[in-house]
């Protein structure tokens, strides 16, 4: 049986992690509440990464207890066992692990080799499972790398096989730069499914530098991918991937599916209001010229 469509809004994490203006805790709480009210059961709410690495998200420990009751499908990025422990303490049922298919991007993003990262993530996954958490996996730079260019399919397959051994619930292929084409999407979905015996539901985390994100969504959907990630207003990007574009726009993604008769359960009017409110908050908290960008 084909899975039902799942759209995870990642605005509170990926959308805000390199935003121009800092979003205060109370506004992050309102953002998550608004997303759930608009119809999103699946929301990536924060990142349990050291604030020195992601200074826009220092408050996950305070945020999650205020929103954990809203949905049983909330998730946070956790890079290691300490991140999982923070997720457990805060009350989250699931964590997202991430590693890059590109050695250079992995070094820039996580400050270690892919091999060392996979060893840490394997230990982290075992710990999370032992504590009853769901574990999701993501392969960043699964198509192109800002430093190395085109990423070999073999690298993506290697990461997918490692995640399979970790027992992840879902596996996202991330177009970190936003330059993937439908041909590349089809190629990598096919290769990963062959390597993992189609045992793990696949998802796409898409950025949109070339304007091809919805074409990539269409291709993936035709190949039975049912998990997609997006952010309000096309916000987001990767602080450690020069040239990375914002995420595929949540409103456009929802409208794309609804126009084809594929029900999302999301209220587009509420989303539009929420987007305007968030952009106003970001605009109010832009750094002054003396302060410089955060």
Q: How many CB atoms lie within 10 A of CB 272?
A: 14
Q: Are 115 and 160 in contact (CB under 8 A)?
A: no
| Longest Cα–Cα distance in the chain | 57
Q: Closest by alpha carbon to 142, among 173, 106, 177?
A: 173
CA distance between the termini of the chain: 47
Both tokens assigned to 196: 């993992």
Is residue 238 part of the annotated active site? The answer reads yes
**Which of 78, 238, 254, 271 is an active site residue?**
238
Query: In Å, what is the CA distance from 283 to each residue of 210, 239, 274, 278, 280?
Result: 26, 19, 14, 9, 5
SS3 258: helix
Q: Are 177 and 144 in contact (CB under 8 A)?
A: yes
User: Could you tell me which residues come within 8 angstroms of residue 168 by beta carbon, excluding any fewer than 6 positions away?
Assistant: 97, 125, 135, 136, 137, 200
**How much of the chain is in helix, strand and coil states, percent to nearest 5?**
45, 15, 35
Both tokens assigned to 84: 């999982």
Active site residues: 238
């Amino acid at each position: 049986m084909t899975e039902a469509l799942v759209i995870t809004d990642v605005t509170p994490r990926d959308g805000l992690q390199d935003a121009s203006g800092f979003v205060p805790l109370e506004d992050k709480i309102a953002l998550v509440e608004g997303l759930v009210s608009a119809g999103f059961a699946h929301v990536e709410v924060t990142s349990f990464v050291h604030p020195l690495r992601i200074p826009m998200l220092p408050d996950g420990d305070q945020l999650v207890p205020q929103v954990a009751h809203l949905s049983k499908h909330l998730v946070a990025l956790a890079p290691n066992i300490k991140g999982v422990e923070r997720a457990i303490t805060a009350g989250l049922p699931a964590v997202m692990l991430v590693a890059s298919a590109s050695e250079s991007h992995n070094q820039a993003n996580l400050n270690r080799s892919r091999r060392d990262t996979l060893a840490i993530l394997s230990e982290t996954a075992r710990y999370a499972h032992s504590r009853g958490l769901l574990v999701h996996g993501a392969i960043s730079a699964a198509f192109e790398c800002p430093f190395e260019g085109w990423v070999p399919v073999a690298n993506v397959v290697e990461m997918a096989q490692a995640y399979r051994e970790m027992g992840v619930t879902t596996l996202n292929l991330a177009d970190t730069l936003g330059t993937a084409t439908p041909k590349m999407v089809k190629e990598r979905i096919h290769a990963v499914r062959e390597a993992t015996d189609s045992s793990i539901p696949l998802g796409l985390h898409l950025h949109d530098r070339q304007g091809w994100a919805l074409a990539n969504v269409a291709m993936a959907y035709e190949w039975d991918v049912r998990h997609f990630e997006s952010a309000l207003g096309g916000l987001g990007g990767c602080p450690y991937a020069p040239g990375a574009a914002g995420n595929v726009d949540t409103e456009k993604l929802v409208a794309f599916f609804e126009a084809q008769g594929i029900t999302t359960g999301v209220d587009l009017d509420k989303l539009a209001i929420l987007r305007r409110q968030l952009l106003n908050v970001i605009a109010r908290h832009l750094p002054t010229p003396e302060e410089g960008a955060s």
